[in-house]
Structure 1
Amino acid sequence: MNKILLFYPPGALFQRGEDRCQQNVDDGSAQAMRACNDLGYAAAVLLNKHYEVKLRDYQTEGATMEDLHRDLTEYRPDLIMMSITNTTIFDDLKLINEIKDKYSPIVVLKGALFYAPEQAMLDLLDLSHVDYMIGGEVDFAIGEVADYALRGEGKIEDVLSILYKDENGGFKRTAFHTWGEDLDSRPFPARELMNNALYKRPDTDEPMATIQTARGCPSNCVFCLTPEISGKRVRFRSPENVLAEMTECYERHGIKNFFFKADTFTINPDWVQKMCRLIIDSPLHGKIQFTANSRVRPLSKETLQLMKEAGCFLVAFGFESGSDEILKLIKKGTTVEENLQAAKWCHELKLPFWGFFVIGFPWETREHILKTKKLILKADPDFIEVTIALPFYGTPLYDTCKDNNLLAESVLGSDFFHSSMRGTMHLTIDELMKLRRNILLSFYLRPKYIFKKMGECVTHPGVFINYCKYGIKLVVNLFKS
């Protein structure tokens, strides 16, 4: 039986399973590592095809390169698949070259970087030791890639959204911008191979599973890769299928907390209502809790109330900016008034919420960013993150930055906290970083905020300890040189 190793490499913590936000977890303000669902989906597909599979998230385990090499020596996989990020790609390729030279496995790289990539970008990378690159949805590709590479079965040119090495050493592309439709037919991630205890709810440290409820986003945000990678038409799983995965997590793995992964969980109010009603009417009600991302449009107070009744303990909004001018320029499709309305509803319902904000868009001035700070303090979320705009290849933001000479270097190797940009048309990158620090400290160090969080933790000392850990991490990161 052919052996396959699926892994995240040792090193700093990155959300390697994400397509649009491959967050640097170590340098963020309050992010927790999410489950390695991309590896889990791949493992489930391969197990169904009767491959022997080993799955390791070395980075989140805190494992070392010695651990990786020990596994390669003892397990001797015929094929390996490693998830990469834009930020880590150069180090990832150095590691792959070393592995290929020493152990000679078939090498598959998985990452959004390889979705319909520009040839000029590929030319920057040493791909000489790579055999296949999966740029799209891994569960619609890895099984067919393995069958072709290991068993000589199928037609590689029919596999969606990949690049494969031809007989001359060059790479050929298959069809991009075409997606698998039947999400209910996908197996659930192979959590029996995942170390589920690694992926924790930030406040309680309890295991938290990621469940992808939908793929695709109809929005036009200039900075986001999702419409390019997953399509502008949202493909939903049935609520019944989602509930079945939740039930498996609860009954087989003892997991009671869930992150519903969707680019906007609330985009279809009817779907959300059916999902929440199913949970409320199920044996899981009162035993599980979940968090989800949402846009402020479309949204209603009734939807948020039903989500809370079903077990939602926190909702996350991509507010992005406190300037209507900037919201229009980034094609967010929302307004500052709608941002404040969503915040008001959450406060009224006593539903905690997270606010995500981005500064450093090409057109931004200091005044624009101060409006964002004003929005943050007025909306008063429970938690916030402020990142620097990152112009991914393939996004309109990248083209705008390139056209206006705002790129200091290649976007490869950069992240939300170590930007590849020179700054905006009006502010330097150093000025942006100082503004980010000012916003975060002004928000989190308010006596009102600190006493509020202390009050919430009176009966939950463990939660208070975790808040303190994240607070210390925030301050340390903000004052690192």
Structure 2
Amino acid sequence: MMRVLLVNPPRYQGVSVIREERCEVTERYSILEPYSLLQIASLLRADQHKVSLLDLNGLDMGYSALKEKIERSKPEAIIFRFTPTTFDHDLETAKIAKEMSPEIRTAGLCWTLHTLGPQVMKEAPALDAYVTGEYEVASPRLINSWEQGEEQSPGVLTRAGYGGDVEPLKDYDSLPLPAYDLLPNLDPYFVTAPAGQPFSILYTSKGCPYKCSFCTVAGTPLKMKSSQKIIEELRYLKDNYSLRTASFFDETFTFNRKRTEEVCKLLKEEDLDIKWYCNTRAHLVDKELLQMMRSAGCRGISFGIESGSQKILDTVGKNIKIDEAKEAIKWAKEAKIKTFCSFILGLPGENWETIAETMRFVKETLPNSAQFNVAVPYPGTKLYDDLYGEDAPQADFRLLYQDSAVTGTEELTPEDLNQAREAAYRALYSSGRWWGSNIKHVFSEPSDFDLAFRYALKIVNNFVFHKMKDAH
């Protein structure tokens, strides 16, 4: 048995940080529980290790709390998550641990940089191990290896070298429930605005077979939990934490239509009274399915539209048609499901005309909310390889913010893209038709008034005072 401390590092310059797989970003207006660490905790417990958790981000605590925790619990190993843009800040976790006791083993997780393992280890001297493989399998095996006095483990890069590829998890249903009991409560957590709490995220599937050139999870194996397993987790959260709102954090929740139908059916049969949100692709919904989702508690759906230009979508391998995206938004709004659409400015081939096409798409479809990010060449993506190749100088991963461009296109500079992003938000937030559409929705759905009011305050604060920085 080893004493293991799991750490979600503090907020960065006062801004909350999401440290979850494809979403390793600063995010001013969402505070998510460290789901992946809770999952690791339950797996380590199954192997009889003594596990504790410190969510410094969620509790808005600084590194002094980590020092106190280490002093009290005297962990033998610490596992924490980090992101590219908060790298040096997050790595203080390992540095502090080593300063307090050089015998503490330190391991870090960051999906975005998993193809840059040697660079990460070189720039993080206090890190003993970097988990680059599937964390549900690689993390427990690492702790078991350390317990047995071994220096290498599959799916992990250590000072002794890479332990080889780890065998992927075959049965996603085999995972135990995340160790939610390690959280004092769900009070700190919310997405977009603090409404509808208690709130939690859940993974009901992971991976995406589609191969969008800009995405860090493109072409990864798809693993899905059964509808019964999903309901089991929701029931646990309802019974123990009075859960009101859940966000299915999957890349593509509706990938399997039959499973989506089963989840909806069971949610109604169980009468859990939980409102939920999900992410998916616009061509994987239809009018009937959306109405079924609404009747089962779905109140919001996020579509990764990316661009209003078919040329751009085809260039990046999005595998979707503009008309499909328009229909999906229309059907969702008819079902009284709020629509959240994300767009990326600066994908290959972008120019002022394609940006104009995107804005025309937004003005025509009027989603309830829109995010405008700049294209980011994340390591391991086709976009990264196309931009940098083997010999070209690479962008500092610490600068890979979705709100500040590090690269342009043939016709647009990074400065152009930053200006286009700000202009896109200005055009949206000054649109009387857009505000009118949202006000009409609130009148038809009075239960959304609190969320709508808080969201409006967020818009004013974010756009006027923060210029959309750390907002996605």
- The alignment's TM-score, normalised by the length of structure 1, stands at 0.89
Aligned pair in 2 of structure 1 residues 136, 199: CA closer, same or farther (>3 Å)? farther
Contact residue 197 and residue 207 of structure 1 kept, 8 A: yes
Shift of 1:479: 7.0
1:89 to 80, 87, 90: 87
* Cα offset, 1:163, TM superposition: 1.5
Residue 361 of structure 1 pairs with residue 383 of structure 2: no
Distance 1:75 1:321, change over 3 A: same
Q: Check whether the contact 1:93–1:126 (CA below 8 A) recurs between aligned residues.
A: no
The match for 1:379 is 365
Task: Report what 1:350 is aligned to.
Answer: 336
1:71 to 62, 69, 72: 69
Deviation of 1:91 after TM superposition, in Å, equals 2.8
Question: 1:44 touches 1:187 (CA, 8 Å); kept in 2?
Answer: yes
Structure 2 residue 280 is matched with structure 1 residue 294: yes
Q: How does 1:274-289 map to 2 (within 5 A)?
A: 274-284=262-272, 287-289=273-275
Tell whether the 8 Å contact from 1:319 to 1:355 is kept in structure 2 after alignment. yes
Amino acid aligned to 1:204: A
- How far does residue 381 in structure 1 lie from its aligned partner after superposition? 0.5
Letter of the 2:267 counterpart:
I
Find the counterpart in structure 2 of residue 426 from structure 1.
411
Q: 1:453, CA displacement in angstroms? A: 3.8
State the Cα distance separating 1:298 from its structure 2 match.
Answer: 2.7
Identity rate of aligned residues, in percent? Answer: 23
Q: How does 1:385-400 map to 2 (within 5 A)?
A: 385-400=371-386
CA gap of 1:134–1:16, structure 2 versus 1, over 3 A, is farther
Partner of 2:324: 338
With structure 2 as the length reference, what TM-score do the two structures score?
Answer: 0.91
1:133-177, Cα deviation, whole Å (9 max, x unpaired):
112332222222112213448x954x3x222232xxxx224215x
Distance 1:406 1:267, change over 3 A: farther
2:228 to 234, 240, 243: 240
List aligned pairs for 1:287-326, cutoff 5 A.
Answer: 287-326=273-312
CA contact (8 A) 1:289 1:312 kept: yes
Aligned residues: 461
Amino acid at match of 1:291: Y
Task: Describe the shift of the 1:41–1:480 C-alpha distance in structure 2 as closer, same or farther (beyond 3 A).
Answer: closer
Give 1:19's aligned residue.
Answer: 21
In structure 2, the partner of 1:32 is 30
One-letter code of the match for 1:258?
A
Change in 2 beyond 3 A, CA 1:59/1:118: closer
Structure 1 window deviating more from structure 2 (314-323 vs 66-75): it is: 66-75
* Deviant stretches of 4+, over 6 Å: 404-408
User: 2:283·2:324 contact (CA, 8 Å) conserved in 1?
Assistant: yes
* Partner of residue 100, structure 2: 102
* Residue equivalent to 2:132: 135
Tell me the residue number matched to 1:3.
3
Give the whole-Å Cα distance in 2 for the aligned partners of 1:172 and 1:442. Answer: 49
Which residue of the partner structure matches residue 172 of structure 1?
162
In the superposition, relative to structure 1, how do residues 217 and 479 fare at CA in structure 2: closer, same or farther (>3 Å)? closer
The yes-or-no answer on 1:60 pairing with 2:61 is no
Partner of 1:206: 197
- Matched residue of 2:6: which SS? strand
Matched to 1:304, the amino acid is L
Query: What SS class does the counterpart of residue 236 from structure 2 fall into?
Result: helix
* Whole-Å separation in 1 of the counterparts to 2:440 and 2:134: 43
- In the TM superposition, residue 114 of structure 1 has moved relative to its aligned partner by 4.8
What is the distance in 2 between the residues matched to 1:480 and 1:89?
18
CA distance in 1, matches of 2:107, 2:391: 34
Matched, 1:471 2:470: no
In 2, Cα distance between the equivalents of 1:143 and 1:118?
19
Do structure 1's residue 111 and structure 2's residue 72 form an aligned pair?
A: no
Matched to 1:449, the amino acid is W
CA contact (8 A) 1:114 1:133 kept: no
Q: Which runs of 5+ in 1 are unaligned?
A: none
Structure 2: gaps spanning 5 or more residues: none
Deviates more, 1:89-98 or 1:192-201: 89-98
User: What amino acid sits opposite 2:30 in the alignment?
Assistant: A
User: What corresponds to 2:157 in structure 1?
Assistant: 163
The SS at the match of 1:192 is helix
1:374-406 per-residue CA deviation (whole Å, 9 max, x = no partner) reads 111111110111111111111110012215999
CA drift at 1:21: 2.5
* 1:22/1:407 CA distance change after superposition, 3 Å: farther
How far is the alpha carbon of 1:450 from its aligned partner? 3.0
2:405, 2:418 within 8 Å by CA — same for their partners in 1? Answer: no
Q: Secondary structure at the match of 2:23?
A: coil
Query: Aligned partners of 2:461, 2:98: CA distance in 1, in Å?
Result: 37
Report the 3-state secondary structure (helix = DSSP H, G, I; strand = E; otherwise coil) of the residue aligned with 1:392: coil
Aligned partner of 2:125: which letter? S
* Distance (whole Å) between structure 2 residues aligned to residue 62 and residue 20 of structure 1: 23
Structure 1 66/56 Cα, relative in aligned 2: closer, same or farther at 3 Å? same
